[in-house]
Amino acid sequence: MIVNKVETFVLSHPLEKSFHFSQHHYDARTICLTKVTLENGLSGWGEGYGPAGPISAGIEFLAPLIMGGSPLEQEGLWRRMYRHSLDHARSGVMLSALSAIDIALWDLKGRILNQPVSVLLGGRNRNSVNAYATGLYFSECDDLCTELADEAEGYKNEGFSALKMKVGLGVDQDIENVRAVRERIGTGMALMVDANHAFSFREALRLAEALEPMDISWFEEPLTPEDYEGYRELCRRSPIPIAAGECERLRYGFLRLLERRCVDIAQPDPCAAGGITETKKIADLVDSYGTDFAPHCWGTCIAVATSLHLLSNWDPLPGRLFNREPILELDRTQNLFREDLGSPKFKLDQGRIQVPDGPGLGIQVDEQMIQEYRVDISEG
Ligand code: MG
């Protein structure tokens, strides 16, 4: 049961309609997956979050370190990869590469032991997870307020109980957009906003104060991820809970956020923060600071399954008879690889998504589709 092959696949699919947020413009979805195969032919899949080409190169750099290793001892393999890249890559895409391999090893571990990852993490505390819709990006149109409100109403009609919209066009425009969405969806639906670190401290505080009467559940990434002191001060003064962490890596990155009390909600991306092995540790660290845990998830069905298993296992502290429920980020922007690459497909049922029951991640990857959408790495 030892690893004898590691492959990387960069896949790309052009979007029917391009969109943007406060930092970048998207006209295609391009992702990097890895497939780790054992000498007996059993294989597992993983995904890295971020620029696909550099992640693929990172996987090729790390691959020799796990050859001959056993997925049943994935933590030792994690440490070997981490120590080998530490001097030059304490953060960034190399950790997305490490994350992808770690997720594939967990998928394999589950397949070897015939158990879902959530059970191997210590047990399932729930078989389905509440999901929120991530959407309401910006696009070229005549009336953005109406377009955003229409989209939000669609998620409400689908059965979502929560949704997250983008802000970061400018404080005044953002206030108008959020007001239009809140007025359309009414008061019964949770609404979050995400700036993707677009604001200065003063702008963020002004927006938080203006949005407070609109019942906003969290304000995500208001400031640049480097500004820990700004986050600490904003978290203290904002009337809306502050969320961040999709740009952080490893438990050390989250410790910097937590010990300064920078966030109310910590958002590691398991496909970038260090895989399942490290995100489990981050969740425990987050718990020990009395902070909420809501993983960032913006990838394929592999990323969604990874978050589902972690959230099935996570049981928020301090705990109570009717404990608060975790929430899954379910991106609704066009992504063929989230919708069609794996089976079984995820279906929203009364606002919840079922945690896969099969061994490992519980996802069967369509390898024909992998070949169909595979692109040369230089295009990734
Ligand atoms: Mg975000």
Task: Provide the pairing of β-strand 25-38 with 3-20.
Answer: antiparallel
- What's the 296 CA to ligand 1 centre distance in angstroms? 7
- What's the 70 CA to ligand 1 centre distance in angstroms? 34
* pLDDT (tens digit per residue) in 283-316: 999 999 999 999 999 999 999 999 999 999 999 8
Nearest CA-CA partner of 129 in 283, 321, 327, 307:
327
- What's the 267 CA to ligand 1 centre distance in angstroms? 8
Give the contacts of 342 (CB within 8 A, at least 6 positions apart): 300, 301, 302, 305, 363, 364, 365, 366
Same domain, 266 and 145: yes
- What's the 297 CA to ligand 1 centre distance in angstroms? 9
- What's the 167 CA to ligand 1 centre distance in angstroms? 10
Within 13 Å of residue 234, how many CA atoms lie on the same side as its CB?
A: 34
The residue to which tokens 């029951």 are assigned: 357
- What's the 214 CA to ligand 1 centre distance in angstroms? 20
Same domain, 51 and 127: no
* pLDDT (tens digit per residue) in 137-149: 998 888 999 999 9
- Catalytic residue chosen out of the listed positions 13, 197, 296, 309: 296
| Of residues 96 and 322, more confidently modeled | 96
Reported as a pLDDT band with limits 50, 70 and 90, residue 378 is low
Domain region containing 65: 3-114+366-374
- Cis amide prior to 344 (ω within 30 degrees): yes
| Annotation says 296 is catalytic | yes
CATH number at residue 43: 3.30.390.10
- What's the 221 CA to ligand 1 centre distance in angstroms? 6
Same domain, 285 and 208: yes
How far is residue 318 from each of residues 44, 77, 256, 288, measured CA to CA in Å? 35, 32, 22, 9
Report yes or no on 380 lying in a domain. no
Same domain, 62 and 171: no
- What's the 332 CA to ligand 1 centre distance in angstroms? 13
> What pTM was estimated for this model as a whole?
0.97
Same domain, 108 and 150: no
Same domain, 326 and 225: yes
Nearest CA-CA partner of 99 in 31, 46, 42:
46
Same domain, 161 and 254: yes
If DSSP codes are grouped into helix, strand and coil, which group holds residue 312?
helix
Same domain, 190 and 145: yes
CATH number at residue 189: 3.20.20.120
* pLDDT (tens digit per residue) in 144-188: 999 999 999 999 999 999 999 999 999 999 999 999 999 999 999
- Torsion angle in degrees (nearest 10) through CA of 4, 90, 166, 301: 10
- Taking a C-beta distance cutoff of 8 angstroms, is the pair 297, 129 a contact? no
pLDDT at 346 over 80: yes
- Taking a C-beta distance cutoff of 8 angstroms, is the pair 283, 258 a contact? no
- Taking a C-beta distance cutoff of 8 angstroms, is the pair 321, 315 a contact? no
